[in-house]
Amino acid sequence: MGMNALHAAGGRGRLPVYRYVVEEVKMDIHKPDTLIDFTPVEHAVKHGHLPAIKYLLDHGADLHLQHGDNTLLHSAATHGQSEIVKFLLSKGADVDAISDLGTPLILAALKGHPSTLKILLQHGADPNKVAGLFGIIDVALHKSSVSCVKLLIQGGANVSGDNHLAKAAEKGLTEAIKCLLEAGANPNVVDRVLLSHILLSCLAI
């Protein structure tokens, strides 16, 4: 019950353990645990052990494995595992895979991981691929991540509609307001109260 030696090794990145239990004991690398239904490679991704991930994929672990509808890339993006994200993409992971929580790019923005977000954009992630109720700039603004907002705008994220300026003003994110305006966001979509917040934010520079 629970986790076997291979699952536990995934959480610690113990390569000698992997080699022994996979190559000598012949344990099944595809078998999920009975606690959270994670396979060894999912444990390795969650805990950020790149050498373990490489080993498991080299020995037959499924790059396109889905937990629910979340891929390994979703997990790596959620946890800000930039080097793992880069590696998974180099192996052919779908950069725009959609889960019920969105794309890996949306999850990186949601958790405020600009380095991970930048890598995803560099590998062709679509900042305008919407899943759920909120656009990706809304998600980055909710996290108050100006760095993510800037990267998304540079990556071609749509700045029109959805009152992005209003959300930035409510958060007091002057730099985000500047970036949105420079990218062509329309201040006239904001009501008078929120527009006054924008003006006050700009005056406070």
Do both 185 and 200 map to the same domain?
A: yes
Do both 167 and 155 map to the same domain?
A: no
Instruction: Please report the pLDDT score of residue 20 as a whole number.
Output: 87
Do both 82 and 150 map to the same domain?
A: yes
Q: Which domain holds residue 135?
A: 5-159
Instruction: Please report the pLDDT score of residue 35 as a whole number.
Output: 82
Handedness of CA 161, 167, 169, 170 (dihedral sign): positive
Do both 15 and 97 map to the same domain?
A: yes
Instruction: Please report the pLDDT score of residue 10 as a whole number.
Output: 61
Do both 76 and 173 map to the same domain?
A: no
List, for residues 150-200, the tens digit of each pLDDT value. 999 999 999 986 688 888 988 999 999 999 999 999 887 654 445 554 555
Confidence (pTM) = 0.86
List, for residues 118-154, the tens digit of each pLDDT value. 999 999 999 998 766 678 998 999 999 999 999 999 9
* Token couple for 9: 């090794």
For residue 88, the domain's CATH number is 1.25.40.20
Judged on CB neighbours under 10 Å (0-12, 13-18, 19+), 120 is buried
How many structural domains comprise the chain?
2
